[in-house]
Structure 1
Amino acid sequence: MIVLTAHGTRDPAGAEVIAELAGRVRARGAEVAVAYADVREPDVTTVLNGLAGRSGSADPVVVPAFLAAGYHVRTDIPQQVAASALPRAPVAEAFGPAPELIDVLVDRVRQAGYRPGDAVVLAAAGSSDPRALDEVSTAARMLSARLRAPVRIGYAATADPDVAAAVAEARHSGRRVLVASWLLAPGLFQRRLEATGADAVSAPLGAHPAVADLVVRRCAETPDTRAEPAGWDRTVRLAV
Structure 2
Amino acid sequence: MTLVLAAHGTRDPAGALVVEDIAAAVRQRLAVDVEVAYVDVRSPSLADVLRSVDSAVVVPLFLAAGYHVRVDVPSQVLASGCSSVVVTPALGPALLMLDAVYARLVGAGWEHGNAVVLAAAGSSDARAVADVHRAARRLSLLTGSDVQVGFITSAQPSVPAAVAACSAGPVAIASWLLAPGLFHQRLADMGADLVSEPIGGHPRVVDLIVRRAQDAGIVDLSTMLVGQ
Give the alignment's TM-score, normalised by structure 1.
Answer: 0.87
* Mapping for residues 25-36 of structure 1, pairs under 5 Å: 25-29=26-30, 30-36=32-38
Alignment counterpart, residue 193 of structure 2, candidates 194, 199, 222? 199
Are residue 177 (structure 1) and residue 171 (structure 2) matched? yes
Corresponding residue number in structure 2 for 1:11:
12
* Deviation of 1:219 (Å): 1.8
Task: Give structure 1 stretches of 5+ with no counterpart.
Answer: 53-58, 225-240
Corresponding residue number in structure 1 for 2:203:
209
Corresponding residue number in structure 2 for 1:110:
106
* SS state at 2:86 partner: coil
Corresponding residue number in structure 1 for 2:50:
48
Number of aligned residue pairs = 216
* SS state at 1:26 partner: helix
* Mapping for residues 57-96 of structure 1, pairs under 5 Å: 59-96=55-92
Distance 1:166 1:10 in 2: 28
* Deviation of 1:43 (Å): 0.9
* SS state at 2:85 partner: coil
Identity %: 52
* SS state at 1:83 partner: helix
* Deviation of 1:223 (Å): 6.6
Corresponding residue number in structure 1 for 2:226:
none
User: How big is the alpha-carbon RMSD for the aligned residues of Structure 1 and Structure 2?
Assistant: 1.3
- Which amino acid letter does the alignment assign opposite residue 155 of structure 2? A
Distance 1:67 1:135 in 2: 8
Give CA deviations for 1:159-217 in whole Å, capped at 9, x if unaligned: 111112211222xx221110000111101111111221310000011001111111111
Are residue 21 (structure 1) and residue 15 (structure 2) matched? no
Task: Give structure 2 stretches of 5+ with no counterpart.
Answer: 219-228
- Which amino acid letter does the alignment assign opposite residue 73 of structure 1? V
Q: Which has the higher mean CA deviation after the structures are superposed, 67-76 or 215-224? A: 215-224
| Runs of 4 or more consecutive aligned structure 1 residues displaced over 2 Å after TM superposition | none
Q: Which has the higher mean CA deviation after the structures are superposed, 92-101 or 72-81? A: 92-101
Structure in which a larger fraction of residues adopt strand = 2
Distance 2:124 2:195 in 1: 25
Q: Is the 8 A contact 2:56 2:84 kept in 1?
A: no
Q: Is the 8 A contact 1:123 1:154 kept in 2?
A: yes
* Deviation of 1:87 (Å): 4.9
Alignment counterpart, residue 145 of structure 1, candidates 141, 146, 152? 141
Distance 1:94 1:33 in 2: 16
* SS state at 2:183 partner: helix
* Deviation of 1:14 (Å): 0.3
